Amino acid sequence: MDAALLAWFRENGRDLPWRHTRDPYAILVSEVMLQQTQVERVVPRYLAWLERWPTAEALAAAPLADVIREWQGLGYNRRAVNLHRAAQHVARKGWPEDLTELPGIGRYTADAVAAFAFGAPVVPEDTNVRRVRERTGRRFGPQCGQALMDLGATVCLARVPRCNVCPLAPGCPSRGRRYPPSRRQGRFEGSFRQRRARVLRAVAQSPQPAEHLDGDAVLALERDGLVRVGDGLVALPD
């Protein structure tokens, strides 16, 4: 199956900017941005980010407030804080052998950086990769990581897979199956996430009087290191 998958990938793989580098910092930025955010939204923000902070050392030296502002619109803003902390760790100590030692970096992101930057023989398993593995019942070699991601994202879809164009269909035991909808994430409109985002967006413009803001949202943002509160004002961290 590996050969068929890789042949398909050579013809159909997505041309994404982070696939043209082996720089671990650039790949880390892409992987953190891609958590919970669609590829189409990430691409321009990734390019702008690297233009502003091209190295881990440059990001580490940046004020956290600037990092949070630059992240606005990507969602799940805690990722910006973790990426900044990870860059500071790298700037001080270099890249650890176990990349999960970096702040906020879990197993998947660590494996992705290890594989795509350092050539480690591991297949990072995101939702798309896991879906292809489970449906085919096969394991794939480490050279197949990006191909599996693209196959899961564009062909082996969650509900109605496109088996008619899948290179793995001839030997796939799940060929032709359809799947019930997965549990969808709660609506953003009216959610606590929206309340947090609204407060953070206001504070990113300028410090705001705490009494004028959503108190519960402020407390949650402060707990995540996204704002600081003092003298009655809520501001971005220094």
- 113: domain CATH number is 1.10.340.30
Tell whether 166 is covered by a domain.
no
| Tokens, residue 127 | 């939702």
Tell whether 209 is covered by a domain.
yes
Tell whether 221 is covered by a domain.
yes
Of 93, 118, 143, which residue is a domain's last?
118
Residue 76 domain boundaries: 15-118
Best CA proximity match to 47, nearest among 225, 39, 65, 195: 39
Q: Average pLDDT for residues 200-213, to the nearest whole number? A: 92
% the chain with pLDDT above 90: 87
Q: For the packed helices 24-34 and 107-118, what is the interaxial angle rounded to 10 degrees? A: 140
pLDDT recorded at residue 179? 86
Mean pLDDT of the chain: 93
Q: Average pLDDT for residues 170-195, to the nearest whole number? A: 83
**Looking at per-residue confidence, does 186 or 37 come out higher?**
37
Asked if 200 and 112 sit in the same domain, the reply is: no
63: amino acid identity, one letter: P
Tell whether 155 is covered by a domain.
no
- Please list, in sequence order, all residues whose beta carbon lies within 8 angstroms of the beta carbon of residue 125, skipping any fewer than 6 positions away: 108, 111, 133
Q: Does 134 qualify as catalytic in the annotation? A: no
If residue 30 lies in a helix (H) or strand (E), which one and from where to where? helix 24-34
Asked if 109 and 198 sit in the same domain, the reply is: no
Of 95, 118, 141, which residue is a domain's last?
118
Of 97, 118, 139, which residue is a domain's last?
118
pLDDT recorded at residue 183? 66
pLDDT recorded at residue 189? 78
Lowest pLDDT segment from 33-42, 164-173, 176-185 = 176-185
* pTM strictly above 0.85: yes
Tell whether 134 is covered by a domain.
no
* Active-site residue (options: 11, 31, 125, 211): 31
Tell whether 1 is covered by a domain.
no
Tell whether 49 is covered by a domain.
yes
pLDDT recorded at residue 79? 95
- Dihedral pair phi/psi, residue 86, rounded to 5°: -65, -40
> Residue 211 above 70 pLDDT?
yes
pLDDT digits (tens, 9 = 90+) for 93-142: 999 999 999 999 999 999 999 999 999 999 999 999 999 999 999 999 99
pLDDT recorded at residue 138? 92
Count the domains in the chain.
2
Tell whether 30 is covered by a domain.
yes
pLDDT digits (tens, 9 = 90+) for 33-73: 999 889 999 999 999 999 999 999 999 999 999 999 999 99
